[in-house]
Amino acid sequence: MTKNIRQNYTDAQFPQTAPDDEIDLRELFSVIWQGKWLIITITAVFAICSVIFAIMQPNTYKSEALLAPASEEQSGGLSALAGQFGGLASMAGINLGGGGGVDKTQMAIEVMKSRQFASQFIQKHNILPDLMAVEKWNLGDNSLTYDSELYDKETKKWLREVKVPFKPEPSMQEAYREFSKVFSVNSAKDTGMVTVSVEHLSPAIAQQWVTWLVEDINKVMKERDVAEANRSSEFLNKQIAMTNVADIRSILYKLIEEQAKTIMFAEVRDEYVFKTIDPALITEEKVGPKRALICVLGTMLGGMLAVIFVLISHFIRKDY
């Protein structure tokens, strides 16, 4: 009798889980089968909407150029002086390429990715409307149609309705974020080759932007090196005027000579940092949107949501 009392007390304290709380797969399949027409209907609606959405998306085209680093060709004379005069050169703020500095090719890539370069590029070539307001590209006459709610092509005025602190005309910060979505530059680790690409609704604009980007980065890096070489030469000339030691004057003259070579090299070459191996072309094949993938994912999403809805509805009715 004592044993029965203990058993009853244990059952009262720790009631066993009822079999009704367990998931019955047969019941789930039965519920899904009963709601099959609702599932089919919802899935069909999502599929149709996905097809319409995919069709409405404009084609995008990608143009890219293959580049080879050209900066190494000018480092021969400076590298020869790096070991012998590296200490003196560093005092003058001159980088002789002795091995401790930043690779010029990598620096050029980072400059291209920077906000300053992108902002200057957008303003220099006046591409803000083509970047932020294009609605579609017309194949027949190779023209662009702009979103009338954003930009008036005739008056060249921005009509965006935005909240403070934004203005109708997009800021360079907004433009940079949008530009970063369509522009990319990558370097292959195995070959060192650099690929610059732009994606746009117009293949002609994509090709033109890539061409401009390569030209501008070469020009920017050239101007930086020429300005640095001129400043270094001015410093070295001042040091020559301040010393009467023949050996030191000889060293300084050699350093000035190398700076003159740098300036000469920059002035005679347009492809200063990057040599174009394969120039950008007006591509004939689109890269987006992936319409088939959009339709498949939309249909799958509709099917999953429909099944979840049928199951939730069933168990809510069952609980009540």
* Same structural domain, 240 and 171: yes
* Same structural domain, 112 and 212: yes
Q: Which residue has the higher pLDDT, 79 or 114?
A: 114
Q: Are 301 and 46 in contact (CB under 8 A)?
A: yes
What is the pLDDT averaged over residues 254-272? Answer: 84
Q: What is the CA radius of gyration of the chain?
A: 34
Residue 216 has pLDDT above 50, yes or no: yes
What is the pLDDT averaged over residues 202-213? Answer: 97
* Same structural domain, 126 and 42: no
What is the pLDDT averaged over residues 55-83? Answer: 74
The helix/strand/coil state of 67 is strand
Please report, as a single letter, which amino acid is at residue 141: D
* Same structural domain, 41 and 136: no
How much is the pTM?
Answer: 0.78
What is the spatial distance between Cα 217 and Cα 201, in angstroms, rounded to a whole number? 24
The helix/strand/coil state of 59 is coil
What is the spatial distance between Cα 104 and Cα 107, in angstroms, rounded to a whole number? 5
Query: Beta strand 274-278 with 143-146: parallel, antiparallel or unpaired?
Result: unpaired
Could you tell me if residue 12 is inside a domain? no
* Same structural domain, 194 and 266: yes
* Same structural domain, 157 and 301: no
What is the pLDDT averaged over residues 44-60? Answer: 94
Could you tell me if residue 17 is inside a domain? no
What is the spatial distance between Cα 212 and Cα 282, in angstroms, rounded to a whole number? 14
* Same structural domain, 224 and 274: yes
Q: What is the dihedral of CA 69, 74, 79, 82, to 10 degrees?
A: -110
The helix/strand/coil state of 159 is coil
Q: Which domain holds residue 45?
A: 27-57+289-320
Q: Which residue has the higher pLDDT, 93 or 43?
A: 43
pLDDT the model gives residue 199 = 96
Average pLDDT, the chain: 84
Residue 33 has pLDDT above 70, yes or no: yes
* Same structural domain, 150 and 294: no
Selection from 94-108, 177-191, 221-235 with the highest mean pLDDT? 177-191
* Same structural domain, 212 and 109: yes
What is the pLDDT averaged over residues 62-78? Answer: 73
* Same structural domain, 316 and 180: no
pLDDT the model gives residue 232 = 85
The count of other CB atoms within 10 Å of the CB of residue 86 is 17
Count of domains for the chain: 2
* Same structural domain, 141 and 117: yes
* Same structural domain, 92 and 46: no
Residue 244 has pLDDT above 70, yes or no: yes
What is the spatial distance between Cα 118 and Cα 196, in angstroms, rounded to a whole number? 14
Residue 218 has pLDDT above 50, yes or no: yes
Residue whose structure tokens are 């099959």: 36
Could you tell me if residue 10 is inside a domain? no
Taking the CA of residue 320 as centre, how many other CA atoms within 13 Å lie in the half-sphere pointing to its CB? 5
> Which of 107-116, 166-175, 226-235 bottoms out in mean pLDDT, i.e. has the lowest?
226-235
